[in-house]
Amino acid sequence: MTIRAITFLPSLRRSTRRPPLNFALFEAAVALYEENRPLDALGKVFEHLMPGLPSPDLKKAPFTFTQGSSNVTVLLDGDEFVVTVPLCKLPSGPTAVAAMRHVLTKISGSGQLHQPRLHGDEIKLEFRDSLSRLHPAKVVEVLRRMPNEADQHDDWLIGQFKAEPLNRAEIAPLRAEDVQIAFSMWEQHWNEVEELLNESRRKRSIFFLNELTAFATNRITCVLPLYGFLVARLEEAVSTFNNAQEDPNKRETTLAKCIKDMKAVEVDELSMNLGYAEYALSPYQEGTPQVLKAQIGPGRYMDMVEELFKSGKSIDSALALVGTYYYLAARFSWEAAVEADFLAGLASVSGKPWRETTTALLEHAKMMSEKYGSDDEKDEDGNNGDDEPGEES
């Protein structure tokens, strides 16, 4: 059966809204560092990265913050600044070797300031450097990359190799009724992705495959507060099926296998992987007027979507627009009004035929771009626009 429409799934996730980063604070931190005031510089870095929170006094006590499932501890050890994130305790059986190999292959590496270290059976991500060498850029890199790295890998180590959790952060569970809602959305999502995959195989279009794979990961990320081993498994598949550099056949096969795996997840398993994690540092990219305009404002991508629509490929254009909306809603932190408008746009086309969906979202995107977009400055990646959205994961 050919899929006729995409259903809007309301988000059970908490708002992605975070106060914007104040880069004047970062510049002040650099100035303080250059004045040989590394502790004051450190304070400014924390103010910059954690807006609205008081800056920790590391001279008095270590400071711990939560980033997803990871508890991050920062402290002063003499004249050294130390950051530690526990990963896991090695399992006692033969899977310990595989766990360590995973750490050495996937987490250790050149080009990063932090490294995993083994203390007895405990694996921790660590960074240590003298205060005199603690340029704020280094601190920002470590505090942003290291906890996310831990957050990405600890569930895999625990789920795949039976490693033991180590000082993991609490994750607030969903209410029972919300778990049921989440499960129906989960089923709905993967059923629709499966039908879209059939369409992709019929069409044999790289554009459609790109839009489908982005939609497959972004919608579920947008609507459900997922964490845990299920996310780690999903991310492993995403790294192949949402990778435009991979062979298209391999991408389709991986997506098909992923759909099968995800459809086999029962409500109890899903429930164990749902919860509200805390993030001291925003895990989202900052949603700015420039980003919005670059993605859904006038430009090459939206022209292409319109061209597809005009040439009768309304399923392609509709999927592209819905996928882009979910991408923006899932991956960026927006002002509340912008976030609400994105979701309202998606809700307005729920279950509507492809042509109607495209017409409505093209109009809605135009409204969003005019109301909230701007191309005054380049976005964070230095792009002015014309990017093809939906590829990022």
Residue 383 sits in the site that holds another protein (CB under 8 A): no
Residue 366 sits in the site that holds another protein (CB under 8 A): no
Nearest residue (CB) to another protein, 79 versus 170 = 79
The structure tokens 């700015």 sit at: 288
Name the CA dihedral angle for 313, 318, 320, 322, rounded to a multiple of 10 degrees.
-170
Nearest residue (CB) to another protein, 15 versus 130 = 130
From CA 69, how far away is CA 363, in angstroms rounded? 40
- Least distance from another protein to the Cβ atom of residue 367, Å: 38
What is the CB neighbour count within 10 angstroms for residue 304? 15
From CA 209, how far away is CA 201, in angstroms rounded? 9
- Least distance from another protein to the Cβ atom of residue 83, Å: 13
The structure tokens 């709905």 sit at: 188
Q: Which of 53, 104, 206, 347 binds another protein (CB under 8 A)?
A: 104
The structure tokens 């000082």 sit at: 167
> Which residue, 163, 155, 168, 162, is CA-closest to 236?
155
> Which residue, 213, 258, 160, is CA-closest to 390?
213
User: Residues touching another protein: how many (CB under 8 A)?
Assistant: 28
Residue 20 sits in the site that holds another protein (CB under 8 A): no
From CA 325, how far away is CA 323, in angstroms rounded? 5
Please calculate the CA angle 31-32-35 and round it to the nearest 5 degrees.
90
Nearest residue (CB) to another protein, 107 versus 224 = 107
Residue 37 sits in the site that holds another protein (CB under 8 A): no
Residue 96 sits in the site that holds another protein (CB under 8 A): yes
- For 65, the 3-state DSSP assignment is strand
Q: What's at 360, amino acid-wise? A: A
- Least distance from another protein to the Cβ atom of residue 101, Å: 6
Residue 73 sits in the site that holds another protein (CB under 8 A): no
Write the binding mask 106 to 135 for another protein: x where contact by CB under 8 A, - elsewhere: --xxxxxx-xxxxx---x--x-x-x-xx-x
Nearest residue (CB) to another protein, 29 versus 212 = 29
Q: Which of residues 298-317 bind another protein (CB under 8 A)?
A: none
Residue 97 sits in the site that holds another protein (CB under 8 A): yes
- Least distance from another protein to the Cβ atom of residue 109, Å: 5
H or E element at residue 73: strand 70-77
Binding region for another protein (CB under 8 A) = 96-97, 100-101, 103-105, 108-113, 115-119, 123, 126, 128, 130, 132-133, 135, 137-138, 141
